[in-house]
Chains A and B, each alone.
Chain A
Amino acid sequence: MAKTVFDKIWDAHLVKELGDGVGLVYIDRHLIHEVTSPQAFDGLRAADRQLRRPSAVIAVPDHNVPTKDREKPNPDANSAAQLAALDSNCAAFGIEKIDMFDIRQGIVHVMGPEQGITQPGVTLVCGDSHTSTHGAFGALAFGIGTSEIEHCFATQTLQLKKLKNMRVTVNGRLPFGCSAKDVALAIIGKIGTAGGTGHVIEYAGSTIEDLSMEGRMTLCNMSIEAGARAGLVAPDAKTFAYIKGRTWAPKGMQWDMAVNYWQSLKSDDGAFFDKEVTLDATEIVPLVTWGTSPEDVIAVTGDVPAPESFKDPSKQAAAVSALEYMGLTAGEPMDRVKVDRVFVGSCTNSRIEDMREAAAMIKGRKVNVRIIEAIIVPGSGLVKHQAEEEGLDKIFIDAGFEWRDPGCSMCLAMNPDKAGAGERVASTSNRNFVGRQGPGARTHLVSPAMAVGAAIAGHFVDVRNY
């Protein structure tokens, strides 16, 4: 029977059918961080259970590590307790941990691919919903909750209901000024935040093939905002080239064996997709979110929509409260909306390519005086190092940006990086939910180029002619 990539990975990891479409699925890779793991370790201890396969687990602190003055004592006692718990739990259970001061440290979804942990065909989980990022390599990767972390610790498996297949095909050349983030936002704008619910999205088409691995990660990252638990791209020569030589990558004869297997991970002709969506990349324009859901997307050249413009009454009501929260008026041109803070970072847009995209927008210009703070937070120590080798840090600092140490930072505002009530943020992260970047903070999701454009102009700008 013709199978999709997802079907193939699922079948290759099925330990047992549990009935009603639920399978006991083997997990190859398990990434952990400080926020969602402590209770899982506690659970193991309480039930006197062992960690089944410590070598399949790797830990890195990222969610609430400070992005500056890291050497100083952590001002937040709760964060410090979580970071200390990660240390002691990893030591007690024999798990390899990347330290906060290690150059490899970074956002778990940036670190995994960099270390070659993420590979085609593997099942990879992490207690963070943006684990979907790793699907860029043709892995089945998805976020899990703490009980599942504990389950995976104890059994190296998960009980999962098989998801459905959905294919999003994007064809055509992406216009100048647009990047993978705009593709992701365009897809979510089209299918909505529940469009992929219950499905694994496979991204296909010439636009996706043309994206770099970084771009594919940005895209797969936001599968979760499209409602899907996982998103993936079939692996190709670009994927293999990215992995080759990395720490966890297969070597020697095993490399050839692996590539041989990885090449089989394509959806067969005639494979069945429960849902199909197509987009024309040539129609994509630089996008901005105006509301408090990632599906609230419009062109930067567009106007803030009126609640009446939505058919669905519940969507109308949601738009009324979103506009109120965001401090926007229907009909207001998006490119006149003023910005107070800028954040370039998060597992969506903190890789080297994002740093280059951001730096290219600066062209000797300065951060606008009205901007309270514009921070650039690389996704890992390695990204930071690479950017500094290329001199990008100087471009940022000279322009008035702050160049920070790697972590999740303002993406979820668990550390001191956050916006005040009513402050408007141009952010390259993935969620514009109420209060996500601090109580009352107003988040607009954009690409790195758009974020930097807003930092320079003090308001949103169409980066195609800026």
Chain B
Amino acid sequence: MQKFDQVTSIPTPFTQVNVDTDIIIPAKHLKTITRTGLGVHAFENIRYGADGALTGEAVFDRAPYTEATILVAGENFGCGSSREHAPWAIADMGYRCIIAPSFADIFASNCVKNGILTITLNTEAVRHLALDGEAEAEITVDLPAETVTAADGTVFNFTYNPVHKEMLVGGLDEIGQTLQDEALITAFEIRQKAAQPWLYNRD
């Protein structure tokens, strides 16, 4: 995974509330067996016309947002289905960070596993950053420092789960991290088997 330290970009302002994962990536694109190439279908119902052609009118497809690596989103972003295709699609569009007033739980946890940082800020701060996006001004996200710096220099502090921070900053894989505790997992299984043997009848 790519290491995450600082990211500077003109953010894409897309502050619609309750954007669910069906909007992010419609179910018909879930029939893949690989993780890449979903970006062209991301936000499809917003970006493509009835004829199936890209209209170019959606914010995602307008310069300078086509180059953006930060997305400024609305409340309860990523609600609905737990499909991980949603962060895959967003990552495939080139985004590395999403800033919103709130995220759906599963979506946020899927993001970190795919190297996407989700930052929760209050509505005022998010509005400020969305306006920067509209004004085509750059903002900077600094994960080690847990700050977002707006175009006018205003600094917004955020907090991020330290375990996840270590992963993103170090570009680590979560499975590798857990496997370091394999002995503890085995010990747990031995204890559980003694107390609840019925859970081990099929082993």
Contact = CB atoms under 8 A, between A and B. Distances in A.
A212 interface: no
**Most chain B beta carbons < 10 A, residue from A52, A150, A157:** A157
A343 B20 CA distance: 22
A413 B27 contact: yes
B33 A38 contact: yes
A436 B87 CA distance: 19
Given A16-B181, A147-B84, A193-B79, A35 B110 contact: no
Nearest to A437: B27
Contacts of B87: 145
A155 B106 contact: no
Nearest to B81: A129
A161 interface: yes
B185 A15 contact: yes
A159 B178 contact: yes
Given A154-B179, A229-B106, A258 B174 contact: no
A36 B83 contact: yes
Contacts, number: 177
Nearest to B15: A314
B17 interface: yes
Interface string B151-186: 000000000011100000000011101110110110
Given A24-B181, A193-B18, A143 B84 contact: no
Given A18-B163, A129-B81, A434-B45, A197 B102 contact: yes
B188 A26 contact: yes
B35 A39 contact: yes
A378 interface: no
A215 to B, nearest CB: 24
B22 interface: yes
B109 A314 contact: no
Interface string A17-43: 011101010101000000110110010
Contacts of B197: 254, 257
Given A145-B83, A433-B23, A414 B74 contact: no
B149 interface: no
B31 A155 contact: no
A42 B34 contact: yes
A258 B196 contact: yes
Contact of A147 (B20, B75, B113, B181): B113
Contacts of B35: 39, 42, 146
Contact of B106 (A16, A129, A318, A439): A129
B170 to A, nearest CB: 15
A299 interface: no
B199 interface: yes
A360 B80 CA distance: 32
Given A145-B109, A147-B110, A127 B22 contact: no
Contacts of A36: 30, 83-84
Interface in B101-149: 102, 104-106, 109-110, 113-114
Contacts of A26: 185, 188-189, 192
A155 B81 contact: no
A48 to B, nearest CB: 12
Nearest to A14: B188
Interface residues of B, number: 57
A421 B195 CA distance: 55
Contacts of B75: 194, 314
Contacts of B74: 314
A151 B22 CA distance: 24
A22 B104 CA distance: 17
B198 A35 contact: no
Contact of A22 (B30, B33, B113, B161): B161
Contact of A15 (B34, B181, B196, B199): B181
Interface string B6-38: 000000000001101011001110111111000
Interface in B31-78: 31-35, 45, 74-76
Contact of B178 (A64, A127, A151, A198): A151
Interface string A250-281: 10001101100100000000000000000000
A79 interface: yes
Interface string A139-174: 000011111101100111101010100000000000
Nearest to A250: B198
A356 interface: no
B122 to A, nearest CB: 15
A135 to B, nearest CB: 15
A47 interface: yes
Given A229-B106, A434-B22, A155 B82 contact: no
A107 B58 CA distance: 36
Nearest to B111: A145
A465 interface: no
B19 to A, nearest CB: 10
Interface of B: 17-18, 20, 22-23, 26-28, 30-35, 45, 74-76, 79-84, 87, 102, 104-106, 109-110, 113-114, 161-163, 173-175, 177-179, 181-182, 184-185, 188-189, 192, 195-199, 201-203
Given A197-B104, A413-B27, 19 more contacts: A19-B162, A20-B161, A20-B163, A35-B30, A39-B33, A42-B33, A121-B196, A127-B84, A143-B106, A147-B84, A148-B109, A155-B182, A161-B109, A194-B75, A194-B102, A197-B76, A254-B198, A314-B17, A435-B26
9 contacts: A36-B83, A42-B33, A122-B199, A144-B82, A145-B83, A194-B75, A254-B198, A255-B198, A314-B74
